[in-house]
């Protein structure tokens, strides 16, 4: 194996592989071939091998990949071994659902703080997380939290991100359906749920 920059598309697939590896490990397997992993995650086996080849030789010909070792390596690449805690801003319907969402655990992630502006909500606890006033955002970095989820109305999304950036947050998952600006040092991923639904009809057969 030689030096390679890991392609973005590969990074996008790594969590999928991680999910598949966890699933296989639960079933008591120690090794897995690219072919059986392919079957369980829905990606072709050659794609999997190519993706893994970007960050080292992990497989053994005739045997496959050591599941534990590979999973740890993927976690290391994705930096999930270091980043484990996230904050949520905006505890509306969607925010509450995210607090209750069990899926983050599969990646070792956990929402450990929640913020809102509504005095009615502040002080209450949802899914084990106490809701704080948004002013608490300023102390996030002190608390070792560098990752934030924004689930506020579109109109206040930008100012929310500005506040997070000012507080030193380094990554934002934005659910508000709009463009948000941030310095290059802060990575923002916008996830517009309605947009995903909106592009479905294009692919649906006519009649």
Q: Give me the residues that bind DNA (CB under 7 A), please.
A: 1-2, 7-10, 32-35, 44-47, 49-50, 52-53, 57-65
33, 53, 72, 94: which one contacts a second copy (CB under 8 A)? 94
By CB under 8 A, name the one of 54, 55, 58, 104 that touches a second copy: 104
Residues 6+ apart with CB under 8 A from 7: 54
**Nearest-angstrom CA–CA distance, 161 and 89:** 10
- For residue 103, state whether it binds a second copy (rule: CB under 8 A): yes
| SS3 label, residue 53 | helix
Cα 47–Cα 14–Cα 1 angle in degrees, nearest 5: 60
Gap between the Cα atoms of 205 and 76, Å rounded:
42
Contact assessment for residue 65 and residue 31, using Cβ atoms and an 8 Å cutoff:
yes
Q: Which x/- pattern over 126-155 shows residues binding a second copy (rule: CB under 8 A)?
A: --------------------xx-x------
Residue 187 binds a second copy (CB under 8 A): yes
Which range touches a second copy (CB under 8 A), out of 28-36, 48-56, 63-71, 93-101? 93-101
CB neighbours of 21 closer than 8 A, spacing ≥ 6?
32, 37, 67, 70, 71, 74
Work out what residue 22 binds among a second copy, DNA, none; the CB cut-off runs from 5 to 8 Å by kind: none
- Which of 6-14, 49-57, 58-66, 116-124 is the region at the interface with a second copy (rule: CB under 8 A)? 6-14
How far apart CA 146 and CA 163 sit, in angstroms, is 13
Residue 151 Cβ, how far from DNA at the closest point, in Å?
A: 27
Smallest distance from the beta carbon of 175 to DNA, in angstroms? Answer: 22
């Amino acid at each position: 194996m030689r030096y390679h920059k890991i392609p973005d598309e590969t990074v996008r697939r790594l969590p999928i592989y991680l999910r598949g590896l966890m699933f296989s490990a639960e079933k008591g397997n120690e090794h897995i071939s690219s072919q059986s992993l392919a079957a369980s995650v829905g990606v072709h086996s050659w794609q999997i091998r190519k993706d893994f080849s970007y960050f080292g030789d992990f497989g053994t010909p005739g045997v496959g990949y050591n599941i534990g070792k590979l999973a740890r390596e993927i976690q290391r690449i994705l930096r999930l071994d270091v980043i484990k805690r996230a904050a949520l801003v905006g505890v509306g319907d969607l925010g509450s659902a995210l607090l209750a969402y069990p899926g983050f655990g599969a990646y070792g992630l956990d929402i450990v703080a929640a913020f809102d502006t509504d005095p009615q909500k502040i002080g209450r606890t949802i899914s084990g997380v106490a809701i704080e006033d948004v002013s608490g955002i300023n102390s996030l970095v002190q608390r070792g939290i560098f990752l934030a989820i924004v689930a506020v109305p579109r109109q206040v999304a930008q100012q929310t991100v500005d506040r997070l950036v000012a507080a030193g947050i380094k990554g934002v998952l934005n659910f508000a359906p709009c463009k948000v600006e941030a310095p290059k040092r802060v990575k923002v991923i916008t996830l517009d749920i309605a947009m995903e639904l909106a592009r479905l009809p294009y692919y649906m057969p006519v009649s």
